[in-house]
Structure 1
Amino acid sequence: MRVVSLVPSLTEAVAESLPGVLVGATDWCTHPAGLDVTRIGGTKNPDVARIAALRPDLVIANEEENRAPDLDALRATGTGVLVTEVRDVPGALRELARVLDACGARTRPRWLDEAEAAWSSPPAPEGRTTAVVPIWRRPWMVLGRDTFAGDVLARLGVDHLYKTHDERYPKIGLPELLDAKPDLVVLPDEPYRFTADDGPEAFPGLPCALVDGRSLTWYGPSLTEAPRVLGAALRAASR
């Protein structure tokens, strides 16, 4: 089986579970460390000709991270394309199992069982925190409706204030974000790399949680540790 991945989360999942199956991945596929495969460009601008030259049996993609025209171009070369849709944690676990099965897995990897166990507790109904969750700056963009990261936070007791917005990643001006009066501002280090010096200063007087973007937005082996990693960061900021 020869697989090309256009999604960092899926790259990590397949590489950890099926060594030797991946032959290509994007420039943004940084996990696992030292992954030795052909790089085929970015998630939004993959090199279709280079992918086709690898003669993959399957390309794995995601409806949000990858563009439909690129996937259509791959299909036109005769390449099989599997497109995932991930909007919440249960959906991520189902899609991961589907991807691994399509890539030739004969058994379910232990990390997937561990991830399912890590997220098996229902969200706490009381003592919840409200938040805004910027994912970009200049312009400011935040989590909106139906996002995987939003569901991750909800399961950790954090309700982001734009979860019912018409858009999934709306552009919201800073004055409106401040007027929303959240209990907390959650600042991941990807896709925009918020740091202690770039982000918190825009929200004076509000506690800011600088969190690991991989734990918040990736669905793969990182799911096993994400509740612990994110929970610690959120609790530290709320003290």
Structure 2
Amino acid sequence: MRVVSLVPSLTEAVAVTLPGVLVGATDWCSHPADLAVTRVGGTKNPDVDRVVALAPDLVIANEEENRAPDLDALRAAGLDVLVTEVRTVPQALTELDRVLTACGAPGRPAWLAEAEAVWSSLPAPAERRSAVVPVWRRPWIVLGRDTFAGDVLARLGVDHVHARHPERYPRVPPAELRAAAPDLVVLPDEPYRFTAGDGPEAFPGLPCALVSGRHLTWYGPSLTEAPRVLAVALRAARR
């Protein structure tokens, strides 16, 4: 089986579960750190010819991460493309099972069973807090409706204030973000690398939780430790 992954989360899941199956991945596929495969460009601009030249049996993609024209071009070249949709934690677990099965996994890997157990046994949050969750700066873009990261936070007791916005990733000026009067601001280190000196200063007087973007937005082996890692960062953000 030869697989090309166009999604960092799925790259890690396949590489950990089925060593040697991946022959190509994007430039943004950073886990596992020692992954040695052909790089095929970005998630939004993969080199279609390079992917085709790898002669994969399957290309795995995601409806949010990847562009429909690129996936259509791969199909037109005769490749089999599996497209995932991940908006919630349960959906992530189901889609991971589907992807790994399609890639030749003989059964559910231990890490996926562990992730399911961890998330299904989460205690009810002791409190609920509201948050704004920027994912980009210049322009400021935040989590909106129907996102995987939003569902992750909600399960940990954090309700982001733009969860009912008509857009999934709306552009919202900083003044409007502050006017929403959230309890805290959640700042991941990807896709935009927010740091203590780049982000918190835009929200004077508000607690800011600097969190691991991989644990907030990736759906793969990191799911097993995401609740613990994120909870520590969120607890540290207090008034």
Q: TM-score, normalised by structure 1?
A: 0.98
Q: Which residue of 2 aligns with 1:97?
A: 97
CA–CA separation in structure 1 for the residues paired with 2:196 and 2:127: 27
Does structure 2 retain, via aligned residues, the 8 Å contact 1:111–1:224? Answer: yes
SS where residue 78 of structure 1 aligns?
coil
CA–CA separation in structure 2 for the residues paired with 1:88 and 1:110: 21
Q: Which residue of 2 aligns with 1:199?
A: 199
Alignment of 1:181-192 (within 5 A): 181-192=181-192
Opposite residue 53 of structure 1, the aligned amino acid is A
CA–CA separation in structure 2 for the residues paired with 1:149 and 1:54: 32
How far apart are 1:238 and its partner, in Å?
2.2
Opposite residue 184 of structure 1, the aligned amino acid is L
CA–CA separation in structure 2 for the residues paired with 1:78 and 1:178: 50
List gaps (5 residues or longer) in structure 2: none
Does structure 1 retain, via aligned residues, the 8 Å contact 2:134–2:140? Answer: yes
Cα distance 1:139–1:123, how it changes in 2: closer, same or farther (>3 A)?
farther
Q: Which residue of 1 aligns with 2:216?
A: 216
CA–CA separation in structure 2 for the residues paired with 1:101 and 1:61: 15
Q: Which residue of 1 aligns with 2:146?
A: 146
CA–CA separation in structure 2 for the residues paired with 1:61 and 1:109: 20
- Matched residue pairs, number? 239
List gaps (5 residues or longer) in structure 1: none
Identity %: 79
Range 218-227 or range 113-122, more displaced: 113-122
Alignment of 1:1-239 (within 5 A): 1-121=1-121, 124=124, 127-238=127-238
CA–CA separation in structure 1 for the residues paired with 2:119 and 2:236: 21
CA–CA separation in structure 2 for the residues paired with 1:94 and 1:232: 27
CA–CA separation in structure 1 for the residues paired with 2:22 and 2:199: 37
CA–CA separation in structure 1 for the residues paired with 2:127 and 2:113: 29
Q: TM-score, normalised by structure 2?
A: 0.98
Opposite residue 100 of structure 2, the aligned amino acid is L
Opposite residue 12 of structure 2, the aligned amino acid is E
SS where residue 23 of structure 1 aligns?
strand
CA–CA separation in structure 1 for the residues paired with 2:74 and 2:137: 33
